[in-house]
Chains A and B, each alone.
Chain A
């Protein structure tokens, strides 16, 4: 464990050091991420002023739902950025170098790929949203709830990591997976901004069974908010995010192990 931590810090130190070779760009990048994402929220906020509630969720509750996306994504890009951009790693030959080093492949990819500044942008926004909304939605915090919240966040990170581990494994066969990610991640994420219950059966099923984004924010948020629309789903769905996260990750991991042998590397033969 100490060894893993020291490797993580060595990667982080060199990553930040090279990012801060261009100080202005680094600082602007952090704000740019923050402002870009905050812009989206402000737009939603303004639209919501007209509606008052969506499926009985008021704006603060929606922001709480939202904050989980940003907080999990902020942590996600600390650990899974290399997997998010894995097609590039293959295409540029960087994955060859990973294979030439005496450490687990995923150990290296997970520890080395952090985009700290984007993480700071997303994370700060998530925390700001959380702080604003959590105090206004009437959650009675107790230690058990705090623990559940932390577990829910970790699960959300793991679910998104697993989704990208699937995409990365597919890269071994087809290299470029940009459109797949667009359809099965980024679009699903856009859906997850609103309560699951507003969608038709088909999209709900996808968000529960195929790309289980519902377990990243909707069901964990329901644990705290207990909105009436939860009645449409079995109550235990609020508790199984960790199970979904771990199961999905293990599935993705075995698919990764299986697919590795199909890695073709780049170059001229």
Chain B
């Protein structure tokens, strides 16, 4: 782990709030008519008093269910939206006040919205980007050569983007966001819709870049594997509020003490009277049971012997919960974060 104490904060966010006025649409024809003359609005707190800080070179996963407020937070951090209240300092700037100077320091990759033209080759689009960012020729040449190699773009960099695969397009888009050597890069769902091999290439590249260039990176994604494979730190946001902020390891350790034993028994009847465990049917036969418990209360060893002492077991498997399941539990309030 990097030296957390000495690293300096590149992002500081305090009590950030953003509320949207949402037009509540009525249903049906009558409702639609009524809507025109008496529209009803409701206020939605998209981001509600969120604070955090991120050091230089850190890689942070920013996750939450749809509509949780993560995009809004990222948009405020990147200077697109004005916050209603709260303070923000990113790379020494206040993004919404000093937008023009500030954004020269960041790169943003939207998985769903390319910044390179559909009808041009990546190289043609990079030329325009070079002018927009006023990238010095030497830096441009070096970066271009480096990212072409690292992202393996040599074979398609001169082809129109419309002929590229989604994975290739995404790699070209990532390079586009890096040509001006940003200090911070925001990735918004950078692997969405891409196949497993493509996802892996992208994650590997991002990890490498973070290590070699010490670029601060913020991820938003729905794919927990993006986070597991790249980030050390996780911020979970839901309903506009921060639910968790800490290491990924901690989430797994603190909330991952539950185990599931799936056992197939030789014969009926099965009478399991286990305290500290929840038993359910794993299939229709009645012979396969799922036994969930926490290792804080009873060890795997004890549980196994309790089962084997009373029944004949044909097959057995023990599973740890996956990170996706833990996160789902956190969203749904089954695990309360402190």
Contact = CB atoms under 8 A, between A and B. Distances in A.
Given A6-B131, A14-B117, A265-B75, A99 B69 contact: no
Contacts of A22: 119
B128 A96 contact: no
Interface string B115-135: 101111000110110111110
A104 interface: yes
A108 interface: yes
A261 B66 contact: no
Contacts of B106: 100
A10 B140 CA distance: 15
Contacts of A103: 100, 132
Contacts of A13: 127
B113 A102 contact: no
A68 B108 CA distance: 43
- Indicate the member of A21, A96, A102 with the most B CB atoms within 10 Å: A102
Contacts of B46: 269
Nearest to A7: B131
A14 B127 contact: yes
Nearest to A102: B104
Given A96-B80, A108-B132, A267 B71 contact: yes
A202 B80 CA distance: 42
A91 interface: no
Interface in A221-269: 261, 263-265, 267-269
Interface string B264-304: 00000000000000000000000000000000000000000
Contact of A18 (B82, B108, B117, B130): B117
B67 to A, nearest CB: 5
B20 interface: yes
Contacts of B213: none
Nearest to A104: B100
Contacts of A36: none
A102 B75 contact: no
Nearest to A22: B119
B113 A97 contact: yes
Contacts of A19: 119
A138 interface: no
B221 interface: no
A99 B134 contact: no
- A-side interface mostly: helix
Interface residues of B, number: 40
B98 to A, nearest CB: 10
A19 B117 CA distance: 11
Contacts of A14: 117, 120, 124-125, 127-128
A178 interface: no
A264 B128 CA distance: 27
A102 B20 CA distance: 27
A131 to B, nearest CB: 35
A102 B135 CA distance: 11
B124 A100 contact: no
Interface string A67-99: 000000000000000000000000001001101
B218 to A, nearest CB: 14
A108 B131 CA distance: 11
B81 A263 contact: yes
A269 B100 contact: no
A101 interface: yes
A21 B71 contact: no
Interface in B1-53: 20, 44, 46
Given A10-B127, A14-B120, A99-B80, A269 B69 contact: yes
Given A97-B115, A101-B132, A102-B132, A18 B79 contact: no
Contacts of B128: 10-11, 14
Contacts of B68: 269
A269 B72 contact: yes
B242 to A, nearest CB: 15
Interface string A13-28: 1100111011000000
Contacts of B120: 14, 17-18, 21
Contacts of B315: none
Contacts of B131: 6-7, 10-11
16 contacts: A3-B134, A11-B128, A13-B127, A17-B119, A18-B120, A18-B124, A97-B113, A99-B99, A100-B108, A104-B100, A261-B96, A264-B81, A265-B80, A268-B71, A269-B44, A269-B72
Q: What 6 pairs across the A-B complex have the smallest Cβ distances? A: A18-B119, A102-B104, A10-B131, A21-B119, A269-B46, A261-B82
Interface of B: 20, 44, 46, 66-69, 71-72, 75, 78-82, 96, 99-101, 103-104, 106, 108, 110, 113, 115, 117-120, 124-125, 127-128, 130-134, 160
Given A14-B128, A99-B80, 5 more contacts: A7-B131, A14-B120, A22-B119, A101-B133, A269-B44
